[in-house]
């Protein structure tokens, strides 16, 4: 359904080129849910936005983005407009900013159906009611304005909009980050249910590996614009960065983990000034001397897993 083949994104700024994404290759089959994780600035949202070419004009995309076999990078604007919403749609983090505050939510959910000429006005009204019920909202909410809904309800509306044109792929960029834990759990349950029942492919972006593991079949981890690990969500990580990322969350009921969190020291590197060798080496707790000079590519790590670390072969 989606294949990223050597995807690179470079922002051309007055101060020089900034490589935000470097050679990412990743595929998602129909009905499969893949999670993309990493710290802020790792390039995961840039990957998400590049799939529907939603990046600013300063961004240059290299490589191929195949959506159901068709290269998004090569599409003309007419074809791209047709593919947005109907081929793939996106759910953003902040529903408050994703919805028009002066339009009723029913009109906003109906808009892609009408723009794509997939329904008449009366058919769209029926579909809006169906979609609202599908995401757990009463049909009468179609007449509400965004400010009349809670944060969780607004995020459900965003999901209803994403489903409106029956896309084959949904990209969810931090869809629950702005929600409290209880509402987050409800929205994750909803996403899980919809993906399974509608046979939709899902690319879900988050910095929170536990959220991704809850929903996704496979996880991919990015660091400094590159994939450093991909593998089944059900088995453990092998790359030192992925392991540190998954261990960074304190354990409820364990004061030791709160007082001494096991996160990483330091910050991710500036994409404009990436360190040589393995980009992670300045923060890696198990780095070898050679890691500062020898680049490392993704390599098989067993269990249908790839990891970009020189120590992985020793662990296989």
Residues in the site for ligand SF4, rule: CB under 6 A? 240, 278, 280-281, 284, 286-288, 291, 296, 309-311
**245 three-state secondary structure:** helix
Mark out the alpha helices in the chain (DSSP H runs). 44-51, 77-83, 95-98, 105-115, 121-134, 151-163, 181-198, 209-215, 240-246, 255-259, 312-315
Rounded least distance, CB 291 to ligand SF4, Å: 3
CB atoms within 10 A of CB 112: 20
Please list the residues that pair with 203 across neighbouring strands: 34, 171
Nearer to ligand SF4, 84 or 281 (CB): 281
Q: Least distance to ligand SF4 from the beta carbon of 245, Å?
A: 12
CB 171 within 8 A of CB 72: no
Our CB check for ligand SF4 shows the closer of 115 and 310 to be 310
Q: How far apart are CA 42 and CA 283, in angstroms?
A: 14
Closest separation in Å from C-beta 34 to ligand SF4: 22
* Alpha carbon distance 177, 174 (integer Å): 5
- For 25, the token pair is 């290759």
Place of tokens 């929205």: 187
Residue nearer to ligand SF4 on the CB measure, 138 or 263: 263
Task: Please check whether residue 33 is in contact with residue 195, taking contact to mean a CB–CB distance below 8 angstroms.
Answer: yes
Q: How far is the CB of 190 from ligand SF4 (least distance, A)?
A: 36
For the CB of residue 296, give the shortest distance to ligand SF4 in the complex, in Å.
5
Nearer to ligand SF4, 168 or 279 (CB): 279
Nearest approach in angstroms of CB 277 to ligand SF4 is 7
Nearer to ligand SF4, 144 or 279 (CB): 279
Residue whose CB is less far from ligand SF4, 53 or 299: 299
């Amino acid at each position: 359904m989606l294949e990223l083949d050597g995807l690179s994104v470079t922002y051309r700024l007055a101060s020089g080129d900034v490589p935000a994404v470097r050679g990412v290759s990743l595929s998602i089959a129909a009905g499969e849910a893949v999670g993309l994780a990493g710290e802020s600035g790792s390039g995961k949202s840039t990957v998400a936005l590049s799939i529907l070419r939603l990046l600013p004009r300063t961004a240059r995309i290299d490589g191929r983005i195949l959506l159901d076999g068709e290269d998004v990078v090569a599409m003309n604007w007419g074809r791209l407009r047709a593919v947005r919403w109907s081929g793939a749609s996106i759910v953003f983090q902040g529903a408050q900013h994703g919805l028009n505050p002066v339009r009723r939510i029913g009109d906003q959910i109906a808009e892609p159906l009408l723009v794509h000429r997939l329904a008449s006005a009366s058919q769209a009204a029926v579909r809006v009611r169906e979609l609202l019920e599908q995401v757990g909202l009463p049909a009468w909410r179609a007449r509400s304005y965004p400010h009349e809904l809670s944060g969780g309800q607004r995020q459900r509306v965003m999901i209803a909009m994403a489903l409106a044109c029956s896309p084959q792929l949904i990209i969810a960029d931090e869809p629950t980050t702005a929600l409290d834990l209880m509402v987050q759990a409800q929205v994750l349950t909803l996403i899980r249910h919809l993906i399974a029942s509608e046979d939709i492919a899902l690319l879900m972006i988050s910095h929170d590996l536990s959220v991704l593991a809850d929903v996704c079949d496979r996880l991919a981890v990015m660091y400094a614009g590159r994939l450093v690990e991909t593998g089944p969500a059900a088995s453990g990580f092998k790359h030192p960065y992925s392991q540190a990322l998954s261990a960074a969350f304190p354990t409820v009921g364990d004061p030791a983990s709160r007082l001494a969190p096991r996160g990483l020291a330091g910050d991710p590197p500036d994409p404009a000034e990436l360190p040589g060798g393995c980009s992670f080496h300045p923060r890696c707790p198990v780095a070898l001397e050679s890691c500062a000079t020898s680049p490392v590519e993704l390599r098989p790590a067993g269990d249908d897993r790839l990891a970009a670390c020189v120590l992985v072969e020793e662990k296989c």
